[in-house]
Structure 1
């Protein structure tokens, strides 16, 4: 898949000092140049991995981030055409993937599909055991010519959108060691690939195994979103990169800069009693939709549920379990039920994990 070229560390990312305050590594001139551009502060970046921004990526396969000069302005000494990709940018990959690798219909109006769109990587949102999530802006720059493609009429008003690019690591660099519990009963379309996956010593087998997590999440998101489950809209998949809807808001600070604020994880919110009941109804509805599709989330917890205002959004679905084919499915589903019920019970809502488990099994079969 097309990768973002090497570029200076985004001026949109602020690293925290040991004292807990924001420490801006940019020079005064760089600060001046950054005014007016969108920004992402460290407080806005969600996830239980506080060291994400300080991680050394130099040895991490295709996801490595080379050391960069944060005070270097790529525009200095060169005249850059704003309608062409610059450092940290690439052309939109929407039309470079097959139709089956795009999100389901109906296509939301906010999705940008024009050929003239440019993807700009704004920074890292979260690191995980098997993948890392990056914030990406897909936008049609001012002055870009109309491409006249067949989908142009669908997004005349959609010239910009924020996406999450979830990029899966290779097996050598992944930290997810419980794969067999989730992949039991899964099949791939080509028997050659299935045999390759069983041979972890071959390069092809490792490559196929690395992509199965991305494929599993994209398929699960497509089916769940189409069935009405509260999940992010899956925009497209390209190799081991899944592009999906960004869940959050955008705010403008006193300097006129726009900040992308990711929705907090459920574990970080303290809802009122009424909102807590609403959250429970939304969550059980989402779990029911997955069960009727034959899925169990597999790793459902308050860390994999976003609280976007008054609505919940379930995320992180690469380990979805086939309730019919996986011999561990009942144990996995019961674990999901107990984990989420423990959180709601601790906040005063009387819920029963065993009753939820029984209800979901009845809907599944």
Structure 2
């Protein structure tokens, strides 16, 4: 989920002995939630066949969706006989909630865990700080552009769809450019339907525990350096693809074992088409470099100006 950009140090406050203190890099989003046994599956089409499976909450929506890039991973269940079962909420945020879903073929051992990211509909809280990100993402029809600019109900639905589509497109592109530009660890984009994006679940595939966020960890010096090197490599790949994460912080970096995984890319920025692209990129670097420096990496290694200059060159802007 995204975070307030004017203060990436976070706003969570704690009382100690009557004094109010602010911890740097605290998350200003709601915390990860415990999984629940029962959850209501979303209705994608109220006019659809009401036939429900004997096992699971609904039939797999794979055949209705825009699908992720080929070749599809071997772990992904693509059989049309599969069902989706809601296992609960992984995370809630201001723009979207992330649910844990098990997709399985009944009476077989074929199953996988997916993270279903559901962006809010127009009746819920409006997306915040979207104006800068939407630069360079104009749609062709003037009516739609006016609706988005006026934040009508239709326009807000358009914006929500753009966020989901932008994240799906960015993840797909990063999977496809791997051989040419270098690999970057992001969740595999499984499918897209409207404002729901289904992703590879990054965590324990058996127990269903999500991988911890970087902000939750206190890595030893050796692991800290390896994670920094992985982050720099990932940012270089994004820059070569002409992209900046746009909202990078220790809260949207997962650590699976010792592998750093970038998540939450709905606000991905085209650093060339977006007039503010270079500043989005520079801010990403400042935030993450500050976290690594605060954890003990030498200042010359995590110098924001040096890394920003390198990334702008990779993007062809210098």
Shorter chain as normaliser: what TM range? 0.7 to 0.9
Aligned to 1:134: 99
More displaced 10-residue stretch of structure 1: 205-214 or 215-224? 205-214
What whole-Å deviation, never above 9, does each CA across 1:206-246 have from its counterpart, x for those lacking one?
Answer: 32122111011110111112222210000000000000000
In the alignment, what sits opposite 1:95?
63
- Residue 328 of structure 1 is matched in structure 2 by 276
- Correspondence 1:84 to 2:54: yes
SS of aligned partner of 1:248? coil
Answer whether contact 1:188 1:194 (CA < 8 A) is retained: yes
How far apart are 1:131 and its partner, in Å?
A: 0.3
Q: Is 1:364 paired with 2:312?
A: no
Instruction: Return the match for 2:139 from 188, 191, 194.
Output: 188
Cα distance change on mapping 1:85 and 1:47 into 2, 3 Å: farther
- The TM-score, its normalising length taken from structure 2, stands at 0.78
Q: Which structure 2 segments of 5+ residues have no match?
A: 1-26, 36-41, 44-51, 178-182
Q: Match for 2:204 among 249, 256, 259?
A: 249
**Distance in 2 between the 1:292 and 1:337 partners?**
15
Q: Does 1:239 align with 2:185?
A: no
Distance 1:265 1:47, change over 3 A: farther
Q: How does 1:161-172 map to 2 (within 5 A)?
A: 161-172=112-123
CA distance in 2, matches of 1:51, 1:83: 30
**Secondary structure of 2:238 counterpart:** helix
Query: Kindly tell me: are residues 198 and 49 of structure 1, through their superposed partners in 2, closer, same or farther at Cα, counting changes over 3 Å?
Result: closer
1:122 match: 87
**Structure 2 residue 303 is the aligned partner of structure 1 residue 352:** yes
Mapped partners of 1:191, 1:106: distance in 2: 37
RMSD, aligned CA: 2.5
Matched length: 269
Q: Is 1:50 aligned to residue 31 of structure 2?
A: yes
Q: Secondary structure at the residue paired with 1:124?
A: strand
Matching of residue 338 in structure 1 with residue 289 in structure 2: no
Do the aligned partners of 1:277 and 1:349 also contact (CA within 8 Å) in 2?
yes
Q: Distance in 1 between matches of 2:213 and 2:168?
A: 21
| Structure 2: distance between partners of 1:83 and 1:175 | 35
**1:177 to partner: Cα distance:** 1.6
Gaps of 5+ in 1: 1-45, 55-61, 64-81, 144-157, 252-258
Mapped to 1, the partners of 2:87 and 2:253 lie a distance apart of 23
User: 1:159 — aligned with what?
Assistant: 110
1:272 deviates by 2.0
> CA–CA distance in 2 between the matches of 1:358 and 1:300?
17
